[in-house]
Structure 1
Amino acid sequence: MLSFPNAKINLGLNITEKRADGYHNLETVFYPIGLKDAVEISDAELTSCKIHGIHIPGDAQDNLCVKAYHMLNADFGLPPQQINLLKNIPVGAGLGGGSADCAFVIKLLNQKFNLGLSVEAMQNYARKLGTDCAFFIENKPVYAFNKGDEFESCEIDLSAYFKVLVKPPIHVSTGDAYAHIKPRKPLHSLKEIIHLSPTTWKNKVINDFEDSVFVKYPQIHQIKTSLYDAGAVFALMSGSGSSVFALFNKAVKLPELEQPNLVYYDI
């Protein structure tokens, strides 16, 4: 069975407070985009994972897709599976590619073996693998809060805009990004201002990670500036970086950003 896990972008990201368990409370809006991996599961004598495409650091057998299989196997006694993952979503980019892959494996296993898991049950499994993994079970725009793993429906549609994603050759560690964050209550709740027109989002819909990441990686800041210079109505770093997305009123080409960077158009 074959599926195509997609990436997400964060429409705003406010880190609101440090939790007693060491995590942070936050608010963000997860929005799915069209940049996709491919994941296939098939019967095998032994469970293993092969990764193709973009290199993922570490042992493939420790991949989140394998962890998703073992988690369900512990409860349902599944037959061994060969997992093939074609990686197209950049790693260390704030796009949730690894989270999407494992969430889609959960959905594939549920379908293939008729496990009868509800959306809520699959989300609960996904939460054990990462704070944003559960989003990809329903895979529709949501307002996310608490650790980023609790959701409320968010009726937002960006299909009228031409969307551009720029991924510089920089890997931003999520742990490092959090280490330099200073939690704070936002002046305006993202839950309220996200429903305003995207043409009004600039300087209102923010990403708290930008302050520290831009200092360490000024190239990422320059990309955001260049996107606005090119006519974007809104631009923001996604997640903890390093990718930056932008909304345009019409199709554009940005050759000045294409080398040696990766640029994805109409995501």
Structure 2
Amino acid sequence: MDHSLHTSNSKCSIIVATRTGGQGKTLVSQVVHLIFKECGEPLKVMAADTAGDDGSATKSKLARFLEAEDAVEELGIGATIQSIRSNTDEMLRYWEPLGQGLAEGNVLVDVGANVLPAIWDWAIEIDAGRVLQEAPPTWLVIPVTAQAQSLSDACDLIRLAEAKQKYLPVARYIVVFNEHEGKFDRVSGTAEYQNMMKLISDVKASTVRLERCKTSVWQKMQVDWISLKAMRNLTYRDYSSRFGLSSFMGSAAEKDFVDWMFSTVQAFRAASLYPSSAITK
């Protein structure tokens, strides 16, 4: 398969997915969304993260963060996890918008761990590869944390995608090492980490180091569903009034966030995780 980087004037589709929750999937999706939008590149946003056990779908985390900035198409409304996995007609209806989005390109899809396996069931059922071979390339972005299970699950996801290339072609893998739950130094000697690094080499995956944001208001951002873009638009005075900080503490919190945001965008750009149109800008 061709793992080469995208070329100028080409579209792409981006699937952000993990096999376990809590890996930073929504954060990574926000960063990608911010980069594309600030490059002036159109990007359709989907979330396959809302199917519940009883069909009572709730708004996805990504939609909550982007509510004031962009429309997020929710794939899970009215569907149950069991029906997506076991009912062929329900599965086809659920994933049809995804297929259309991938065929058109410039789509960002945030996929929850609960429905992730069903993507390949759908692709195999309809032989989606025949259509997607002619579509813009699909990139699979996989956030991981410094935990053995997370690393093992990420390896399993890449192996699954490689084995099913005929049905759901993946042109690039980007592994995001999310340090919000701890640095990877502590697991670098483990078999899981070594297996991850070997697999990254084997499939020629790109990697991104997502540093932990040290701003004192990070948890408040998550609780209040404040997007990265909204945070970056705040001044230190806004930090003081909104988060109940002194002017000096507000200044420190704002500086920490802006510095982190800058380094994060640079890291994503270094991995070519940004629109091809930005190359010529």
| TM-score of the superposed pair, with normalisation by structure 2 | 0.28
Higher helix share: 2
